[in-house]
Structure 1
């Protein structure tokens, strides 16, 4: 377990995904930047982040539920192969990846709109 560190995880990811690893890292950094700039815009406009957070939570959960039906196709598994609780947990965890991307996108858009609305009033 001592060799299980971020560098090893990156090496495993790069070996599995190849160039797509860099695209995934870029998208993750872009989504993180959207969240940070949205929070800063809300803070500068002195607006509460409650509405953008609720919108992001609602859309993220919805996207996770929708993608949970797609995950067996991604993994090339039959729907009958989901037998135990661990299988369903793995499906939910894999579906949370696009769900989190949707939630962060919705938060950054909603926070910007909320900040602009607060600045105009």
Structure 2
């Protein structure tokens, strides 16, 4: 499965059927600037789509990280907590935020693919 995107600039990759990986997009980290702190969700906590699941802070601003789908957080990226700059240097890989066990995989169909997300960015 390809990466899907939200209008709030999170990405989700559900290639692993056990847990989808969630992070912030290149656009989000560009807008934030140098990330200096991340507040990651609690493993085992269940969130609804749109809930605030974390916070990312930069030298310029702070932003909420929203849950892109309903699900339970099954892992967090401790390396990101130790080195928040990973959100800037590798936002689509090493800078991932958390993994979520999907409550309803069909919700992924309501998110944007790369083409739709690129079109959204052109309107900003």
Scaled by the length of structure 1, what TM-score is found?
0.21
The structure in which a higher percent of residues are strand is: 2
**More helix by proportion, 1 or 2?**
1
Query: Rg larger in 1 or in 2?
Result: 1
Of structures 1 and 2, the one with the larger relative CO (CA 8 A, separation 6+) is: 1
TM-score by length of 2: 0.21
